[in-house]
């Protein structure tokens, strides 16, 4: 690392003597570049991450302006792909970054995920989360799931909630935690195509994205010297709190849904 690089990252030198080397070598995958993913891409670039694999098939729309970092009205008028907005944001901060973009679902490019050291999942829906976690577990990649929603109570104000879940290979998965279960998946499948608008706001996405980025930096640098297995943080927007979810206390020490011995690409045999 040259003197200019040392000066550029002097304010984060507490992360460790080789932290910037680890950060610059790390390959980060971000699936979903909307409200949460756009925050994550920007923050990682500021920290000095240089290698990215980005997935999102959507383009910028006017309804995205309330939360998508880097998006402009010009992007709305041009229908700019969200992955290209993220790429522009990253390169504006780190011109030497290697940013591989895919305006597609990750399922069509699964080999791209295998190259990643850490994955961020910013997807909608339980089934999408289950599929992405399954792929991350198969390739032994830590997955940071980020999501939020707004629920309208029958009596009272809307309730903002969200989560950041670190799904570590071998440790409790999102099903172990009770975050994913068959009932939720069945309800989602029954309502397929009738989801309507999905409320999102920039401040809650920013809080959750920042927490996820912090966990990722700890995984890469071990600056806190307290690397852990599964993390489950719950956000309560009405209260302004982000804290460990109570369900984490009941999580099993080892995952029975994704066994480490089942890692690697699937093998198909003739019957």
- CA dist 159 and 239 (Å) reads 9
Q: pLDDT class for 3, splitting at 50, 70, 90? A: very low
Please check whether residue 100 is in contact with residue 52, taking contact to mean a CB–CB distance below 8 angstroms.
Answer: yes
**Does 145 score more than 80 pLDDT?**
yes
Radius of gyration of the chain (CA): 19
Q: Considering only residues 8 and 232, tell me which one the structure prediction assigns the higher pLDDT.
A: 232
In the chain, the percentage of residues whose pLDDT exceeds 70 is 92
Does residue 164 sit in helix, strand or coil? strand
Q: Looking at residue 184, what is its pLDDT?
A: 79
How confident is the model at residue 186, as a pLDDT? 80
What percent of the chain is predicted at pLDDT more than 90? 77
The confidence score (pLDDT) of residue 88 equals 98
Give 6's contacts (C-beta < 8 A, 6+ positions apart). Answer: none
Q: Is 70 helix (H, G, I), strand (E, B) or coil?
A: coil
pTM of the model: 0.92
**Banded pLDDT at 142 (limits 50, 70, 90):** very high
DSSP 172-228: --TTTTTSS-HHHHHHHHHTTT--------HHHHHHHHHHHHHHHHHHHH-TTS---
Burial code of 89-102, b = ≥16 C-beta within 10 A, e = fewer?
bbeebbeebebbbb
Task: Give the C-alpha separation, 105 to 107, whole Å.
Answer: 5
Single out the residue of 118, 87, 106, 130 nearest to residue 31, CA to CA. Answer: 106
pLDDT averaged over every residue in the chain:
91
CATH superfamily of this structure's domain 17-262: NAD(P)-binding Rossmann-like Domain (3.40.50.720)
């Amino acid at each position: 690392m040259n003197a200019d690089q040392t000066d550029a990252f002097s304010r984060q030198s507490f992360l460790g003597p080789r932290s910037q080397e680890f950060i610059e070598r790390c390959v980060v995958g971000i699936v979903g570049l909307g409200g949460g993913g756009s925050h994550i891409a920007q923050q990682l670039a500021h920290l000095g991450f240089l290698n990215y694999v980005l997935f999102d098939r959507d383009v910028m729309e006017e309804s995205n302006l309330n939360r998508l970092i880097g998006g402009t009205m010009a992007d709305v008028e041009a229908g700019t792909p969200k992955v290209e907005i993220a790429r522009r944001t990253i390169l504006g901060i780190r011109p030497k970054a290697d940013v591989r973009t895919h305006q597609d679902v990750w399922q069509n490019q699964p080999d791209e995920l295998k190259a990643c050291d850490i994955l961020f999942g910013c997807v909608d829906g339980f089934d999408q989360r289950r599929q992405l976690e399954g792929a991350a577990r198969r390739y032994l990649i830590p997955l940071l799931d980020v999501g939020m929603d707004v629920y309208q109570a029958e009596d009272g104000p809307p309730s903002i909630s969200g989560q950041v879940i670190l799904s570590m290979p071998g440790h409790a998965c999102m099903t172990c935690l009770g975050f994913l279960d068959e009932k939720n998946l069945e309800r989602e499948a029954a309502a397929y195509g009738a989801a309507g608008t999905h409320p999102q706001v920039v401040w809650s996405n920013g809080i959750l994205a920042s927490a996820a980025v912090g966990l990722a930096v700890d995984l890469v640098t071990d600056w806190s010297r307290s690397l852990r297995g599964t993390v489950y943080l719950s956000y309560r927007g009405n209260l302004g709190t982000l804290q460990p979810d109570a369900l984490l206390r009941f999580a099993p020490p080892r995952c029975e849904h994704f066994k480490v011995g089942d890692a690697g690409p699937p093998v198909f045999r003739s019957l």
